[in-house]
Amino acid sequence: MALGYVALVLHAHLPYVRHPESDYVLEEEWLFEAITETYVPLLHVFEGLKRDGVDFKLTMSMTPPLVSMLRDPLLQDRYDEHLAKLEELAEKEIEHNEHNGHVRYLGGHYAKEFNQIRITWENTIAI
């Protein structure tokens, strides 16, 4: 019986989108969405696999522009503000949909998700 192997190789790249001359730049949203919807969730999966004792290996290449943006204090501050707005929106959805169980449930789900993302973000940025 032959054993097979699967190689999972992730490649992370975004165009350089730092624009200090403006308070809001649409292209910076790409970075913020990637952090919220891809990079932090990947960290959660890796932590879960480790916690469960799964011996996994992964290769992930990150391009210099992406690493530069993730380490940039201005973009870190702007992401923190972006995440705060998402957290505020989720809380408002919970409050405004007190009598709409399904939407209230979704608001609660996202409030919990954003809270977990905040914890991971703050712990990761401190490194």
CA pair distance 65, 14, nearest whole angstrom? 7
In a domain, 30, yes or no: yes
In angstroms, rounded to a whole number, what is the distance separating the alpha carbons of residues 124 and 115?
14
In a domain, 52, yes or no: yes
Whole-number Å distance between alpha carbons of 64 and 62: 7
Residue 56 lies in a domain: yes
- Structural domains in the chain (count): 1
The whole domain housing 37 covers 9-125
* Average pLDDT per 10 consecutive residues for the chain, totaling 127 residues: 72 86 90 94 94 88 90 95 96 92 93 96 82
Residue 4 lies in a domain: no
Residue 31 pLDDT: 94
Cα 29 to Cα 18: distance, rounded to the nearest angstrom: 11
At residue 126, the pLDDT reads 64
Kindly state whether residue 3 falls inside one of the protein's structural domains: no
